[in-house]
Structure 1
């Protein structure tokens, strides 16, 4: 397959899947534009990519802020002149039983996991349509297909990302590609700071077998690397031998 260099925007790029995706796509020859709230992490990542011969730039991003997300996408356009791919990766997972009534955490998941994806689409879609091509890679979860205890709200947000991705795909005339990537248990910071003791205990067992973030980056690279006219719609990646 002939490798085509693209401009790729990655949200939530400061760690985990976002960081691994930026490293993999930069190594593949794509120009990456990194976004997250922790700009110190982005600075180190961009410097590493540059040292390794890649092309990277970064800008502060809070995906819950619609105007800030537009500013971020505008900065990517200013830096590289176009946006070929947006990896909507930013997400949070403060799990808890519904009966715990952690409504602030529910709101946070909705704001980051759902509104954040919508803000990314809204900020980049006009530019993609103007240039006649584009690709959204939305990161969901196996929780977009099934629900487990303590994860009802998290799964609801990922079901929503799945629905949004399919709707965007159906509304496209073929010039905008849409890929939903749904990881199973993956090494990341998502479960490091669970405030609910029941969810924290469950996660220790649930995450006993986990994929490296690079495995998800490989799946994203596969979808991004397809030639025009080929749209990889859904990829589910689970640890071999693991339930999730």
Structure 2
């Protein structure tokens, strides 16, 4: 087993499926001790069974600040430190602005943007102590907004802006900030969309290209967090070869 992260402690949010699950497994395979957080703890237990290293399962709702603080505290209590935060939890509820269910907007802002901010806020004292890494999962939608994804894109633009401000605040103290911006990835994200037309559009998009797999993004995450301490990979944009924008 690789040991590039031997002894390091990682917290992954949104780890019950997709990129979060793949990242947790890949980081565990590199020797990290991994805390995995999500609402669906049954899936986290299955992940823990598959992981080669030690895994701590945490029930975590990133929209609840107390839940976030508890998850960080339990991670540090169990493993003694926190070296890497992978802020992955997110939802994508695309649809047109006209006639939108604005409760879905609230859910996206609270989960994608505020949730990642709350987690950084709770984890930062420990990351400063360990001179660790904050890794934010954004999206190509955090660079290029498109019709029917305005609020989702706004949350991802927000993640990128927050990350750059955070980087300027803490990089001189040895904490690296990384933003990973995946393109079209085969995950459950679109399963949450209620609009049949949006789901069909996503299905056609996926069928038109060789989509990325969660493991492709996990490889990028491992690359970023295993660089020498003096190297900060601040941004990784990763699209399917067939994706045009």
Gaps of 5+ in 2: none
Residues 126-145 of structure 1: matches in 2 within 5 Å? 126-129=125-128, 131-145=129-143
Q: TM-score, structure 2 length as denominator?
A: 0.94
Which SS does the other structure have where 2:191 is aligned?
coil
Q: TM-score, structure 1 length as denominator?
A: 0.95
Q: Which residue does the alignment assign to 2:168? A: 170
The aligned length equals: 240
In structure 1, distance between residues paired with 2:66 and 2:134:
19
Q: Which residue does the alignment assign to 1:14? A: 16
Residues 53-132 of structure 1: matches in 2 within 5 Å? 54-129=53-128, 131-132=129-130
Residue 142 of structure 1, CA deviation? 0.2
Contact 1:10-1:18 within 8 A present in 2 as well: yes
In structure 1, distance between residues paired with 2:77 and 2:109:
30
In structure 1, distance between residues paired with 2:5 and 2:42:
30
Residue 2 of structure 1, CA deviation? 8.2
Contact 1:136-1:178 within 8 A present in 2 as well: yes
Residue 132 of structure 1, CA deviation? 4.5
Gaps of 5+ in 1: none
Runs of 4+ in 1 over 3 A off after TM superposition: none
Please give the root-mean-square deviation of Cα atoms over the aligned residues, in Å. Answer: 1.4
Residue 200 of structure 1, CA deviation? 1.8
Q: Which string of whole-angstrom CA distances, capped at 9 and with x for unpartnered residues, describes residues 70-96 of structure 1?
A: 000000001100000000000000101
Contact 2:5-2:27 within 8 A present in 1 as well: no
In structure 2, distance between residues paired with 1:57 and 1:132:
19
Residues 165-244 of structure 1: matches in 2 within 5 Å? 165-172=163-170, 173-208=172-207, 209=209, 210-244=211-245
Contact 1:191-1:203 within 8 A present in 2 as well: yes
Q: Which residue does the alignment assign to 2:48? A: 46
